[in-house]
Amino acid sequence: MNLQASGASARLFTFQRACILDLFDGSGWYFPSWDGIAVSEKDRLAYSHVNKHLVDCGLSEGKTPPVWTYECKREELDLLATMLLSDHELQSSDYITLQLKVPEQYILRTCYHEWCELYFTILETGQIEDNGRWLDLKTGSDSKDVTVQAILPFLHKNWIVSQEPLLIEESS
């Protein structure tokens, strides 16, 4: 695979457990595993649905869970992290923020808000009732304020621009 951007690349951010840095193989690849992310059956159903779209776009073979990244401004990271990670997750594990520079050809962009609607419906019902809105970045009430979820099939170490501890200030 050609990891160098043959064209444009995107600046993305992801919040990961710090141990991810030890999980890249000798060639610099990180493919998440179902065992490693330890999700419920309904979570796996939702994630597998995302994988179907990664496969349809030619981005993945669909055998491993997706990697969730976000296209946002740096000053929005703390708010985004508190939306994505529970207090329990933040207290029980060391998390880091990775800034990535990812070639465009590996990215499936989606609308985070619309994905959450679909995801929580799947968690409640165990059924996929997908209207496709999560795949359309223009579906938000004000499309310029849509949080872009950029889903990747894997990570490569060469894409990491920076890493820093995720430190969320507790509000009083």
Q: How many domains does the chain have?
A: 1
* Amino acid residing at 62: G
Position 142 scores a pLDDT of 52
Q: Which of the residues in the chain have pLDDT under 50?
A: 5, 141, 171-172
Domain membership of residue 62 (yes or no) is yes
Domain membership of residue 143 (yes or no) is no
- The per-residue pLDDT for range 113-141, each reduced to its tens digit, is 899 999 999 999 999 999 988 998 875 54
Domain membership of residue 39 (yes or no) is yes
Position 147 scores a pLDDT of 83
Domain membership of residue 71 (yes or no) is yes
Share of the chain above pLDDT 70, in %: 90
Domain membership of residue 44 (yes or no) is yes
Domain membership of residue 123 (yes or no) is no
Position 143 scores a pLDDT of 52
49: containing domain: 11-109+148-165
Report which of 4, 5, 14, 8 is spatially closest to residue 149, judged by C-alpha positions: 14
DSSP E strand boundaries for 19-94: 29-30, 67-71
